[in-house]
Amino acid sequence: MGILARQVLLGGIEIDGKLIPSGTQVGTSSYAIHHNEEYFPNAFTYSPECWIVDPETGVSEEDVEQAHSAFCAFSLGSKGCIGKGLAYAELTVTLARVLFLFYLREAEGELIGGGKPELGFGRKRKNEYQIQDRFVGARDGPIIEFKARVVFAYWTVLFNKNPFMTVLNRTAIR
């Protein structure tokens, strides 16, 4: 993934026992940060619970705060993505609509998008979604099957209209 570069300030900085002079560009990839077990325990395992405080799973408020402080998918600071808010809004509405309209399940068959031993160094973890080195990740999978929910079919038949359009029409700014 792309490098989140920053310039060393006056006086330099010591990183891992080495003095880096001021003016030097240093950085790390968001992939490396997001897979650092100091911020994300079990970083190579898909576990959305890591964002939810729950004593039963052992996730504390401090754990969630630490994960939030390290999350940088849209970069950070003055170099942060100007479209972050819009992207979150679009994803939220799209995901809500998909989850309302369809049942989802992982497609049967070979796991698409996961690592395999034959893929070589850094690509062997079966449960790690594989991406290529680009600032925006290229992808292959996962394959998901969708099945329409019955409630949506009934709504459409009974009222001959899309429930989302009904809500949008009522709340649209005129």
Residue ranges of the binding site = 81
Q: Regarding beta strands 102-106 and 144-148, do their DSSP bridges make them parallel or antiparallel, or are they unpaired? A: antiparallel
Q: 65-101: b or e for each residue (b if 16 or more CB lie within 10 Å)? A: eebeeeebeeebeeeeeeeeeeeeeeeeeeeeeeeeb
DSSP 141-173: ---EEEEE-HHHHHHHHHHSS-HHHHHHHHH--
The residues pairing with 54 across neighbouring beta strands, listed in sequence order, are 59
Residues 6+ apart with CB under 8 A from 37: 43
The binding site for heme comprises: 81
Residue showing tokens 């979604």: 129
74 contacts 121 by C-beta, under 8 angstroms: no
75 contacts 4 by C-beta, under 8 angstroms: yes
